[in-house]
Amino acid sequence: MKNILITGGAGFIGSHVVRLFVNKYPHYNIFNLDALTYAGNLANLADIENAPNYTFLKADICDFDAICRIFSQYSIDGVIHLAAESHVDRSIKDPFAFARTNVLGTLSLLQAARLSWGEDVAYKRFYHISTDEVYGALELDSPQPPAPYGREFFREDTAYAPHSPYSASKASSDHFVRAFHDTYGLPIVISNCSNNYGPYQFPEKLIPLFINNICTGKPLPVYGRGENVRDWLYVVDHARAIDRIFHRGTTGSTYNIGGCNEWKNIDLVKLLIRTVDRLLGRPQGSSDHLITYVSDRAGHDLRYAIDSSKLQRELGWQPSLQFEEGLEITVKWYLENTAWLQNITSGDYERYYHDMYANR
């Protein structure tokens, strides 16, 4: 029996990882640790909340004493660490919150794992999930589709060059994880992923926000001229990669996870408009007028592109969907789950879970 602690498991990516592990590994005890901040929603896991191998733990990863008690009480064997502040615009407004959660929270987990496991680390693993944004930005060499839009890609040995408070906080947490491996022998692995999309994503992020805005006729604010390029990864494929790395990755190693799907933001927005309008039975192009160009984000990186060849070569993982296919599935999910989206946009879910756990 393995006791696996998944942090941030009520969030977007975390909920997909929790669901995968609960369903795929009934002989594991899965402990979902989440502080239930604005991005954490237990409704994301309603389908598995009563599974016999699943336990939810409400705690803040920065609360070191609470984390130590959890390691001791539940004999944690492995950690999959996803809990993080992740929205760049929020990091620009409040960098301290990102330093606290992403740096000090990670340090709290590392130290608790080190003290709990001691020298007996033969069957332990601390898996830290990071982002491609720690690498900085790539040049936009090829101005015309099809993608890729340049010759360079982020590889595992690419030098770090973070440009936002968010990416700087994630870079710092990556360094702490590697330092605990080098200094204390903690058995770690790290992965850096590209932009995720799919069901249950909090609607401040581009794809769910714009799906909702197209449905409701609200403006679609595009930074600059929409020339920035991102590599998009379907969240279920990301969860599959996390599973593969957690079980088979080489201790001390880093793996890049990308979708091999580079899109300019403006091209993505136009594809979203076509897809949503078609699925709603609207005439093609009827929502084009919603595109609104706004001042560019401070420190906005031009292009991200991931080289996942190490992961594919060593562990046999590949993305299962092309972007158009994954986007179609994603749009359909949001159109079919309007109650979930309304619950999020109204803030009702925060009040519900705050009241539920207020006296526990």
Closest CA to 194 of 307, 301, 102, 306: 306
Distance CA(228)–CA(244), nearest Å, equals: 31
- The terminus-to-terminus CA distance of the chain in angstroms comes to 28
Q: Catalytic annotation on 119?
A: no
Phi, psi dihedral angles at 197 (to 5 degrees): -150, 160
Active-site residue (options: 34, 133, 231, 301): 133
Which residue type, as a one-letter code, is found at position 9?
G
Active-site residue (options: 54, 166, 304, 349): 166
Q: Catalytic annotation on 132?
A: yes
Distance CA(225)–CA(285), nearest Å, equals: 19
Interior CA angle at 212 toward 223 and 86, to 5°? 55
Sequential DSSP letters for 120-178: --TT-EEEEEEEGGGG--------SSSSP-SS--B-TTPPP---SHHHHHHHHHHHHHH
- The Cβ of residue 72 has, within 10 Å, a number of other Cβ atoms equal to 12
Q: Which secondary-structure segment (H or E) carries 70? A: helix 64-74
Phi, psi dihedral angles at 186 (to 5 degrees): -65, 130
Please give the structure tokens belonging to residue 116. Answer: 């709990």
Interior CA angle at 147 toward 291 and 330, to 5°? 55
Give me the count of residues in the chain.
360
Distance CA(52)–CA(56), nearest Å, equals: 12
Q: Catalytic annotation on 133?
A: yes
Distance CA(137)–CA(154), nearest Å, equals: 9
Active-site residue (options: 60, 77, 132, 243): 132
Angle between helix 165-184 and helix 105-117 axes, rounded to 10 deg: 20
- Cβ contacts of 199 within 8 Å, gap of 6 or more: 235, 330, 333, 334, 337
Active site residues: 132-133, 166
